[in-house]
Structure 1
């Protein structure tokens, strides 16, 4: 359901001696308005890779992958029942490192990455190619690594579909890589607008929920279009339309090229008038079709 989250809590006081015991990366600065000297601390921990504390505002920031904290990898999907366990595990680690207790209700979300694994077998590349030819409203579309990743993005949010196994091969254990085989991974970096729409104060207990997860993934999945492809053509249908067999052959070839290339690339193969004619004819012809790929869906 969720992967990387960045949380903050304020005000919270942490003893400088405790912070310095972790050999932090620290920067001391002078505040001209308050005329006070403050220090910013950054601590690395193998369980919580990013911890920052702003002494002046007494604000603590933590960034962590929820499934990695709980299970050691982010191929494993956390479920609704794992969310309370995450908060408990986070609190336990914060107490161990910084000797402070933070109520779960005090955490605010700055970043929330939502994720899901679609098991599609050997069709991962086909899904990525299909998705790379689509647009999402108010977002740019970019494809990376030869049909391994497609990203829809703007300044405020990002949606990605990618081959999880090829991504995990670079850094995970063999067993984790094997479990990621056949996974088309969806990841959504939620916008501030969507987070505030669901929780005006962006409280972690409200955003790290199944309701918010279903809201975000529902918005993405309902925008996907599944183009039709030619299914097995019945010979009787061909006999009934044999007067148009030359056009049928042309359209079959044209539809195959449409599946292989995006529109801007395909236009380079044709004169503008020919391409327009192919598109017009394709709309008129009623060659039997079916969906090429199953609809991506998340079961409630």
Structure 2
């Protein structure tokens, strides 16, 4: 359900500088323009928390991490509601170990949250991405990366993001362990990050205990799902792997010539038997062309 989260809360008098468990400490000192107070913003990380930031003036503590990576060491596994309670307990224990203070889960506010889902589509991941790349979403800009391996829709400020990508490909690029790559095989990944405005519309105070729940997951994913695909006469990746690259190139070439010179124009380019075979191949392709199945989530199973 969830992956990366950024949480914030107010904690008075934290001393990050003397914490031996915090690595890569960086300090930034500035003058508060309203009060004239000299403030220090400190950032660092631990083995379990890749981002920690504390402001000495406001007392604001921020942490950012992947929930499934904290729990399972990877983010292919999808969370359930019981995992969220374990997450809060582990976060509280880790911060107590570092600072010697208990921070109750009810005090955390959500500043960022990535909702995620894995669609098990087998060998059709590339075909789904090809169709998704043709989609349009109102008020969002579409960007297709890495020759169609990921498709991102975002607003002009990049605060709202909807991303589809090949999870196995990402695991390979990140050089994950072979068993994790195997688990990611055939997974079409969906990730959604809503802007603070939409998070606030769901829960006015943005309390983590209210947002890290099934209800918010449905709220976020229902903005894009279900997705129904329309028929297309384009050759699919599955068709190419089934019929072979030679037939694919032959079909594409014939279609290109037909589009360029028309039905009558190509008659002089082929013998009657070859023309018949090419048309037969085109008919086979149109019959076999993949129309991806409906993308949806059965919320009753969560």
- Which interval holds the TM-score relative to the shorter structure? 0.7 to 0.9
8 Å CA contact retained: 1:227, 1:291:
no
2:7 is matched with which residue? 7
> What whole-Å deviation, never above 9, does each CA across 1:166-194 have from its counterpart, x for those lacking one?
01112222111111000000000112222
Alignment match, 1:81? 82
In structure 2, C-alpha distance between the alignment counterparts of 1:21 and 1:122, rounded to whole Å? 44
Distance 1:289 1:138, change over 3 A: farther
| Cα deviations by residue, 1:1-27 (Å, 9 ceiling, x for unpaired) | 000010000143313564476352112
Q: Does structure 1 residue 159 correspond to structure 2 residue 158?
A: no
Aligned to 1:295: 294
Give yes or no for contact 1:229–1:289 (8 Å, CA) kept in 2. Answer: no
Q: Does 1:113 align with 2:114?
A: yes
Residue equivalent to 1:133: 134
The change in CA–CA distance for 1:72 and 1:20 in structure 2 (over 3 A counts) is closer
Tell me the TM-score normalised to structure 2 length: 0.76
| Cα distance per residue 1:130-189 (max 9 Å; x no partner) | 000010111111111111101111123000010000011122221111110000000001
1:144 aligns with 2:113: no
Corresponding position of 2:42? 41
Say what the alpha-carbon RMSD is for the aligned residues. 2.6
Q: Give 1:36 deviation, angstroms.
A: 3.0
Contact 2:121–2:186, Cα closer than 8 Å, also in 1: yes
Structure 2 distance, partners of 1:167, 1:99, is: 37
Deviation at 1:38, TM superposition (A): 2.5
Alignment check: 8 A CA contact 1:4 1:65 kept: yes
Partner Cα separation in structure 1 for residue 65 and residue 171 of structure 2: 18
Question: Aligned partners of 1:66, 1:176: CA distance in 2, in Å?
Answer: 17
Q: Secondary structure at the match of 2:224?
A: helix
| 1:70-106 superposed Cα distances (whole Å, 9 cap, x missing partner) | 0000111111111111111111111111211111110
Q: Distance in 2 between matches of 1:174 and 1:81?
A: 28
Aligned pairs for 1:96-245 (under 5 A) are: 96-154=97-155, 155=157, 156-171=159-174, 172-222=176-226, 224-228=227-231
Structure 2 residue matching 1:74: 3-state secondary structure:
coil
Equivalence for 1:22: 22
SS in structure 2 of the partner of residue 81 of structure 1: helix
Is contact 1:108–1:204 with CA below 8 Å preserved after alignment? yes
Q: C-alpha distance in 2, partners of 1:294/1:86? A: 34
Q: How many angstroms apart in 1 are the aligned matches of 2:147 and 2:110?
A: 34
Q: Using the alignment, how far apart are the partners of 1:45 and 1:270 within structure 2?
A: 61
C-alpha distance in 2 between matches for 1:20 and 1:174: 34
Instruction: Give the SS at the match of 1:46.
Output: coil
